[in-house]
């Protein structure tokens, strides 16, 4: 009797196993069918990007932007799943590559207008100042910088007395993509403009290193210079200059300023003046 029961149990197990295998095969075919169907759908022209609209560019050409975009659009997952459609397009990759490969672009946004039109909205950097190498005596090979000190292209506009010009720090032959005085540039720019509010007009700003710290030299439009260093923040330098002017040690008319050889701000609250 037990052998008979054992045979029945064995037969049932075999049937269950066959049923399980059939279900597994059926599931495999179903998954394969779904995979092929999905591949067919994402590769069909019904979802493909057909038009690319670029807005916001003025100095950057559409061809340059399209060159970056097309590299991402042509990528495929596992060599068979295209990304050139509404659902699988790598939008973040396109945005990041535009910002990395085209320094003139400050902001980039990727969106769709319908299923077939890809919209690229860009905002370009604006020149706020220039960087002209390591020697303040030579205003050549200058590069445009934005308000954050990011160098993004060769300066095309001619320099004028209103152009803030920076020197030093960067040693790369091609400085595009570098940030001048990273982390402190906005503070430096504010220092520049605060000097102007005191009727002291800078021509250029340069940074050198004497082995113990940075020395900042501000050449003035009418000759002479100002010297500061890392021992004080620029806000304190401005406070000291205001005190010197208020107390009459320095007059801010052009004729008086032309008599100054240098103003040295490196000695705490003491301002050292040397006249021509």
The answer to whether 216 and 205 have CB atoms below 8 angstroms apart is yes
- Among residues 193, 106, 98, the alpha carbon closest in space to that of 145 is found at 106
Contact (Cβ atoms closer than 8 angstroms) between residue 134 and residue 209: no
State the Cα–Cα distance between residues 205 and 89, nearest whole angstrom.
45
Amino acid 157: pLDDT: 60
pLDDT at 237: 93
* Cα–Cα distance measured from residue 237 to residue 228, given in angstroms and rounded to the nearest whole number: 8
Nearest to 44, CA basis, from 36, 32, 34:
36
Structural tokens at position 37:
């169907």
Can you tell me the distance from the alpha carbon of 70 to that of 118, in angstroms, rounded to the nearest whole number? 12
Q: CA nearest 229: which of 261, 200, 268, 182?
A: 268
Nearest CA to 241 among 217, 220, 272? Answer: 272
Show the low-confidence residues of the chain (pLDDT under 50). none
CA dist 222 and 193 (Å) reads 17
Report the run of H or E that residue 27 belongs to, with start and end: helix 2-43
Length of the chain in terms of residues written? 276
Q: Are 107 and 122 in contact (CB under 8 A)?
A: yes
The tokens for 209 are: 């290193």
pLDDT in tens, 137-185: 777 788 999 999 999 999 876 555 567 889 988 887 889 999 999 888 9
Quote the pLDDT of residue 12. Answer: 65
Residue 271 main-chain phi, psi, to 5 deg:
-105, 120
What's the pLDDT at 2?
56
Q: What are residue 109's DSSP bridge partners?
A: 121
pLDDT digits (tens, 9 = 90+) for 232-256: 899 999 999 999 999 999 998 889 8
Provide the pLDDT for residue 15: 76
The DSSP output letter for 179 is B
């Amino acid at each position: 009797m037990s052998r008979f029961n054992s045979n029945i149990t064995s037969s049932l197990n075999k049937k269950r196993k066959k049923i399980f295998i059939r279900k597994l095969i059926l599931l495999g075919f179903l998954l394969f069918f779904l995979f092929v169907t999905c591949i067919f759908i994402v590769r069909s022209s019904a979802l493909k990007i057909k038009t690319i609209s670029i807005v916001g560019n003025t100095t950057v050409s559409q061809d340059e932007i399209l060159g970056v975009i097309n590299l991402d659009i042509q990528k495929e997952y596992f060599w068979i799943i295209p990304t050139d459609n509404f659902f699988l397009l790598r939008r973040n990759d396109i945005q990041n590559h535009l910002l990395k490969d085209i320094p003139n672009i400050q902001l980039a946004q990727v969106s769709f207008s319908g299923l077939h039109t890809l919209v690229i909205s860009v905002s370009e950097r604006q020149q706020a100042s220039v960087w002209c190498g390591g020697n303040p005596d030579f205003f050549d090979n200058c590069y445009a910088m934005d308000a954050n000190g990011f160098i993004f292209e060769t300066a095309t506009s001619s320099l004028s007395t209103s152009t803030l010009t920076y020197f030093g720090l960067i040693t790369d032959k091609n400085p595009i993509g570098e940030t001048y005085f990273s982390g402190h540039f906005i503070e430096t720019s504010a220092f520049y403009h605060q000097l102007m509010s005191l009727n002291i007009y800078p021509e250029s700003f340069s940074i050198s290193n004497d082995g113990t710290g940075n020395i900042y030299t501000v050449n003035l439009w009418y000759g002479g210079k100002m010297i500061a260093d890392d021992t004080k923040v620029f806000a304190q330098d401005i406070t000291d200059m205001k005190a010197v002017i208020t107390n009459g040690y320095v007059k801010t008319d052009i004729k008086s300023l032309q008599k100054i050889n240098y103003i040295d701000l490196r000695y705490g609250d003491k301002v050292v003046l040397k006249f021509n």
